[in-house]
Structure formats: C-alpha cells, structure tokens
Structure 1
Amino acid sequence: MNARRFLMGLPLLMLASASFAAPAAVGAEDCRPTIENPWLRAAPPGATSLAAYLVLRNDCAGPVEVVAVESLDFGMPMIHRTVEEGGVSRMRPAGRLLLAPGESLSFEPGGLHLMLMRPNRPLPEGDRARVRLVLADGRKLFAQFPVRRSAP
C-alpha cells in the first residue's frame, strides 16, 4: 500500500518541484557569447607556457565583458595582447575586454591571445586543455582547446 501511495504521489511531487525550478522566462541575461575554433599551440615537452587562440562571438542583445581566464590544466592562465614597443614585440596583459552585441573578437597569433603558463600536466598534440573565460557578471564560458601544431 505504501509503494502504491508513493508511486501515485510521485507525479505530483515532480510537478511541484518543476514549478520552483523552472525559470520565469528566458531573457537577455540567459544569452551567452560563444567560443568558436578554440585551439592551443603545441609546444616542446617541458615548455612552461603555451598560447591559445579562439574567436569569441557575442550574438546576445547586450554587451558582455571578459575579465579573466581560468583553467584546470594551467597554474597561471592570462589574457595577453602582443604590442610593438620601440620595434620590439612584447606581451602585455589585455585587461578587461568589452564585446558589444553582434561583435566578435579574434584571439590570434601576433595579437590578442590566451597565455597559459605553468601547465599542470603534459599536453601532447591531439590532447585537449580545459579553459574557461570569466565574464564580469560571474558567468563562465567553457571550452576544450585541442592541442595542434598549427591553426585549424
């Protein structure tokens, strides 16, 4: 008898819990930018830093701001920009990156890129690194970056 009551009450319990868990409406704040064509440049064994590239596309109605990068595979991930100073190319922290609605931002060799330092494990060609971009509102964009010798 108890099993029968339990089974009869289960659909009611599911309906009640769904009403609390369901979002009121899907709005602009639920929209997320997308990471396209991520890849990580292969480096010799023992390398202490690797560079990663991607295209970040904002198809949302509002602007988004990238404030940081995180990775389980690296001890010190950063966002850098290559700049020329006195005829010498140097890497500098990129700071916060604002992306307007409908815009895309290319992370590419010789420009904006992810500088992933202190790898926590070997990353041979064909492997994948786990990386997250952190937005100003606290949301995180996850992607797996395949390790490649050259751009896809």
Structure 2
Amino acid sequence: MGLPLLMLASGSAALAAPAAAANDETCRPTIESPWVRAAPPGAKSLAAYLVLRNGCGTAVEVVDVESLDFGTPMIHRTVEEGGVSRMRPAGKLVLAPGESLRFEPGGLHLMLMQPLRPLAEGDVARVRLVLADGRRLFAQFPVRRSAP
C-alpha cells in the first residue's frame, strides 16, 4: 500500500511542477530604453516608446498598460489607410522566447492620454505593462525631446 501512495504522491508533485514553473517570476521580460516624447504645456496626450525583450523560455503576451501619471494609457499602432496615417489599437502582442518588440515613432507606441500632472522635459513618467499572466513590468520613462 505504501508504494502506490508514494507513486501517487510523486505523480501529483510532477503534475504540480509545470504550474509552478508557469507562475515563476524569476524570469521576466525587460523594458529597455523607455522614453516619453516631450509635448507643449497643456498637451492632452503624449507618446511613449521602448524596447521590450523576452529573454525567458516561454512566450509572453502584453495585454494592457497602466500609469499613475495618465488617466487613459493605451497601446497603439500607426497604420496607413488610404494614404493617411492613423492610430489603431495594437491588437494582440505576443513575444516568443528570445524576441524583442520595438515601440517606436511611426509604429507601435504607447499613447498616454489625460496627463494627471504636468510633465516637462527631464521629468519621469511611471508606466507599467500588464502581461496576460497578471504580472506587471514597471519602468520610469524619462521625458525627452528626442530618442535616447
């Protein structure tokens, strides 16, 4: 009777291990070169850029963006429609292991709407990317006139 229980116990431990690995926070994607483009005083929206790198062994999906400094942060993509550039919701953002995703002018970017405080060149905006598994990636985004 002891051997079947031992086998059952070891089998359930083996089944539990993958779930624990999926929630393992030791490997996190990284935000590199974050910045917010400076805008004139009173601007109602600012654009932010970054490079997101997934150095982990599993894919990650970005599902949202949050900020303590903006009422409505969003993830957008600039697309050309009929010869006119327009901003559209970015859609699904999945990074495979080892992949990078560039948020840059004229393409994928963060649209930071409704500033909750004035942000001038040299200030820092606080932004978090939200992953599908609930984890959040925080970074401070310096306000600059041009890319770092």
TM-score bin (small chain): 0.7 to 0.9
Shift of 1:27: 4.5
Identity over aligned pairs, percent = 84
- Name the aligned partner's letter for residue 83 of structure 2: G
1:41 pairs, out of 37, 40, 44, with 37
Q: C-alpha separation between the residues in 2 aligned to 1:71 and 1:104? A: 22
Shift of 1:96: 2.4
Shift of 1:59: 0.2
Q: C-alpha separation between the residues in 1 aligned to 2:91 and 2:142? A: 25
Q: C-alpha separation between the residues in 2 aligned to 1:106 and 1:38? A: 10
Shift of 1:35: 0.1
Q: Secondary structure at the match of 2:121?
A: coil
Q: Which residue of 2 aligns with 1:144?
A: 140
- Name the aligned partner's letter for residue 98 of structure 2: G
- Name the aligned partner's letter for residue 87 of structure 1: G
Q: C-alpha separation between the residues in 1 aligned to 2:95 and 2:52? A: 9
CA deviation map 1:57-115 (0-9, x unaligned): 00000000000000000000000000000000000000221000000000000000000
TM-score for the superposition, normalised by structure 2: 0.84
Q: Which moved more, 1:92-101 or 1:78-87?
A: 92-101
Q: C-alpha separation between the residues in 1 aligned to 2:64 and 2:48? A: 14
- Name the aligned partner's letter for residue 67 of structure 2: S
Please show how residues 13-92 of structure 1 align to structure 2 within 5 Å. Answer: 27=21, 29-30=24-25, 31-92=27-88
Q: C-alpha separation between the residues in 1 aligned to 2:144 and 2:128? A: 19
Q: Which residue of 1 aligns with 2:97?
A: 101
TM-score for the superposition, normalised by structure 1: 0.82
How many pairs are equivalent? 128
Q: C-alpha separation between the residues in 1 aligned to 2:34 and 2:21? A: 27
Aligned-CA RMSD value:
1.4
Q: Runs of 4 or more off by more than 4 Å in structure 1?
A: none
- Larger Cα Rg: Structure 1 or Structure 2? 1
